[in-house]
Structure 1
Amino acid sequence: MNLFNLRRPARAVGIETLHEPARARPRLDTAAMGSPVFVRGQGAWLWDDQGRACLDFNQGDGVNTLGHSPEPVVKAVASQAQALINPGVGRSHEGVLALRDQLCQATGSDRALLFDSTAQAHEGAVRLARQWGERHRHGAGHIIVARQGGEAAYGAPVASRASHCTPEHAPLSHVPFNDLAALHAAVESRTVAVVLEPLQSQGAIVAATEEYLKGAEALCRELGILLILDEAYTGMGRCGALLAENLYGVHADMVVLGGGLGGGVPLAALLVRSSAGCTPMAGLPDAWYSNALTAAAGLAVLKTVLSAGFIEHVQDTGRHLREGLSRLAGRFGQGQVCGSGLLWTLQLNEPMARALERAALQECLLVGAPQADVLRLSPSLTVTRGNIDEMLLRLTRAFARLHAAQVSGRKMPA
């Protein structure tokens, strides 16, 4: 049988045939929607399909640790792609093993578990804590989550995973953030772990006080329960230290790292220390992790963040950004500037964050608006003082543009 005879006959190509795909798959008018189509990025800048350069002070909500298409990550990923991308489920790779080892050495951890997503790392923390409770706390599985603003507010994404993993006899409890008395009162015989973010950072940034975080650590040590820190947003140098816990002088039993580890490539980790590291890790998806490509990206990011002078640069540019934002807030009568390192929010005096975000986009500036009255800035950790000065100029023009629209009674374009 000649298999070539089984092919479908080719259609005659005419004008209607050529035009048909365009009619079948119309392109969205993203310009009308206020969403540029970006085609290229480098460092602090993004270029759209119209050739316009936008200054990016959002960087994927901070996951682009080294900015857009950073040379160390590009070279590492390109080289790895030529050698091996993924050897297969459950098969070891030298890059994966190297990343685990270097994470342990850099953070004083006994084990570093790698995952494809932050959600998996959160779930791994909950599962491991419950396994530890089965082994060392007579089956305890109660988890306490400290979060700002009550249960409705974002405090620790671990909470959403824990609510699915914890049985009815081992519920999840929420306590107010920065309230040590409430934390003490919530602990019971079934409690296995306390989960919190050193900086509550999804909305307006609220930093843990030193007394609170050290008090939480002391409580966990005294009662023999686990302290889990969610550093999905604050780790990998973002707050002016490799981990935010370093700023407080505490050492958690487990630490969750998010997308910042991969510099924008899907990668997360769970750092395990002390007695929690002795627990068998049955059922954790880390046992199957083998993606050599993402591990190469993680190694490149980690080596860069640990390089001489890098953290000092984050601290210096972070101070410059804070000072500039504070001056701008005073000029336009806005609220408090909060944050650390290169993670900052500006509290607005009215719910105009979305409108200000759109006004900034008209100035080719990308910022975040996590809440109606909060503006968020999370630039790359390689951002320069010159980038920051340019951002402040564009944000000033955005404030002026919004003010002019309000005075004239016009609405900012959606």
Structure 2
Amino acid sequence: MNTPVAAAGPGRALITINSRPSSVMVRGDGSWLMDEAGKRYLDLMQGWAVNSLGHSPAVIAQALAAQAQRLLNPGPAFYNRPALDLAERLVELSCFDRVFFVNSGTEANEGAVKLARRWGRKHRGGAFEIIGFESGFHGRSLAMMSASGKPGWDRIYAPMPGGFVKATFNDIASVERAITPDSVAVMIELVQGEAGVRLADPGFVRELRALTTERQLLLIVDEVQTGIGRCGHAFAHEMYDVEPDVMTLAKGIGGGLPLAAMLCKEALNCFEPGDQGGTYCGNPVMTAVGLAVVNEVCRREFLDTVRERARQLSDGLQALVREHGLVGERGAGLLRALILSTDQAEDVVLAARNLAPVGLLINAPRPHLLRFMPALTISEAELDEALRMLGRVLRDTLR
């Protein structure tokens, strides 16, 4: 049997899934990361928006340590107190009545699709089809890749699961055309993060809520990236003044640890025992952390500060647009994008990371676009420093 030659570098024992720099991160503190060589980085990615309270915050470390000494996992056959408390807190904060905990955004969105199809079987004559949107992103399982509208994802692992159709974002007529007797739900990100921080138009969202109500379709809002304070509100749909039927949460709810949730109205609580579950769903360690995160982030004073930092970031990015003749900036809360006039986003990301003595970590979801997802706790001074560093990189890279 031939033994493959391992690739050189620190990841030689890992299956290749993406391109990574050779740096190995060893420590994090708030908005800062440090690698094995001792270099520090000002982090505006935060694990793709998961570290809502920054790296290694005391509130998470304390909740984690305390619960780990009490109970790790009694299994899904029993209730545990942290899961019950977090579910009650989420219901109290939202317009929903029931909560199902899982480990990732993909699982939460899978759960929402399962719930919609179970409801469709019971109340809509077997309706099963989910209407999504072009350029949407809902996860990396086969079903969620089918639910997503990311270009090319229908070919990587073909044949793909069926039952998913696509409409055009911000085009209510395209949604109407997509509806058939088999339609059971519409699934939408109010801010399409992976597509470049594209916001749903408020008028479109109101029309979508009215249309789904009229046609007896469920409205599923994917708040995996936007929920738990990211957009300056507990949930992004509050900005649109609509109530979805189902909502999914992940990323920020765990503050950097694997936790996600699917929430629904009481009328949709239609799983039969055994229909849905998971070995680690609602385990007490993760839900104890989630409760600590939610209690911290969803305070009025905390969210007021998030909105202040969002205005600071938006104003700073707009100043860079004017200085460098860029296309513009957009976003909601502390999920924002800078649109370049050329396809040099990856060059900017590399140059920012390589800054010395301190690097800057940013993300390029599109060739012409940079995305910013800082910790919700980033300080005014840290954000000013990040904007200065970004300006320096743009001057050096785009000239």
Larger-gyration structure (1/2): 1
Question: Which amino acid in the other structure matches residue 250 of structure 1?
Answer: V
| Matches of 2:23 and 2:280, distance apart in 1 | 38
Does residue 260 of structure 2 align to residue 265 of structure 1?
no
Question: How far does the alpha carbon of each residue in 1:170-210 deviate from its partner, in whole angstroms, 9 at most, with x for none?
Answer: 73210100001111121122210011111111131111111
Does residue 148 of structure 2 align to residue 161 of structure 1?
no
Does residue 40 of structure 2 align to residue 45 of structure 1?
no
Matches within 5 A, 1:181-220: 181-220=173-212
Relative to total residues, which structure has the larger helix share, 1 or 2? 1
Go from structure 1 to structure 2 and tell me whether the alpha carbon gap of 1:128 and 1:145 turns closer, same or farther (over 3 Å shift): same
Question: How far does the alpha carbon of each residue in 1:385-406 deviate from its partner, in whole angstroms, 9 at most, with x for none?
Answer: 11110001111111122246xx
Does residue 78 of structure 2 align to residue 78 of structure 1?
no
How many matched pairs?
A: 373
Corresponding residue to 2:269 among 277, 302, 320:
277
| Matches of 2:292 and 2:201, distance apart in 1 | 33
Q: 1:123·1:158 contact (CA, 8 Å) conserved in 2?
A: no
Partner of 1:113: 100
Aligned-pair distance for 1:305?
1.0
Comparing 87-96 and 240-249, the one that deviates more: 87-96
TM value normalised by structure 2: 0.88
Q: 1:119·1:161 contact (CA, 8 Å) conserved in 2?
A: no
Does residue 397 of structure 2 align to residue 402 of structure 1?
yes
| Matches of 1:214 and 1:222, distance apart in 2 | 12
Corresponding residue to 2:243 among 251, 257, 268:
251
Matches within 5 A, 1:12-411: 28=10, 34-147=21-134, 153-157=135-139, 161=143, 171-278=163-270, 280=272, 282-285=274-277, 289-363=281-355, 364-403=359-398
Q: 1:158·1:195 contact (CA, 8 Å) conserved in 2?
A: no
Partner of 1:407: none
Q: 1:122·1:158 contact (CA, 8 Å) conserved in 2?
A: no
Percentage of identical aligned residues: 35
Question: How far does the alpha carbon of each residue in 1:70-100 deviate from its partner, in whole angstroms, 9 at most, with x for none?
Answer: 1111110011111121123422211111111
TM value normalised by structure 1: 0.85
Classify the secondary structure of the residue corresponding to 1:309. Answer: helix
Question: Which amino acid in the other structure matches residue 307 of structure 2?
Answer: Q
Classify the secondary structure of the residue corresponding to 2:53. Answer: coil
Q: 1:122·1:256 contact (CA, 8 Å) conserved in 2?
A: yes
Classify the secondary structure of the residue corresponding to 1:83. Answer: coil
| Matches of 1:80 and 1:179, distance apart in 2 | 47
Structure 2: gaps (5+ residues): 1-5, 13-19, 148-159
Q: 2:129·2:163 contact (CA, 8 Å) conserved in 1?
A: yes
Aligned-pair distance for 1:27?
5.7
Aligned-pair distance for 1:277?
2.8
| Matches of 1:400 and 1:164, distance apart in 2 | 40
Runs of 4+ in structure 1 deviating by more than 6 angstroms, as ranges, are: none
Question: Which amino acid in the other structure matches residue 273 of structure 1?
Answer: K
| Matches of 2:87 and 2:185, distance apart in 1 | 24
| Matches of 1:382 and 1:211, distance apart in 2 | 31
Question: How far does the alpha carbon of each residue in 1:219-252 deviate from its partner, in whole angstroms, 9 at most, with x for none?
Answer: 1111211000011111111011111100000000
Partner of 2:150: none
Aligned-residue CA RMSD (Å): 2.5
| Matches of 1:185 and 1:65, distance apart in 2 | 38
Question: Which amino acid in the other structure matches residue 394 of structure 1?
Answer: M
Question: How far does the alpha carbon of each residue in 1:298-324 deviate from its partner, in whole angstroms, 9 at most, with x for none?
Answer: 111100012240111111100010000
Classify the secondary structure of the residue corresponding to 1:173. Answer: strand
Aligned-pair distance for 1:35?
3.5
Go from structure 1 to structure 2 and tell me whether the alpha carbon gap of 1:132 and 1:163 turns closer, same or farther (over 3 Å shift): farther
Partner of 1:9: none
Question: Which amino acid in the other structure matches residue 28 of structure 1?
Answer: P
Question: Which amino acid in the other structure matches residue 143 of structure 2?
Answer: R
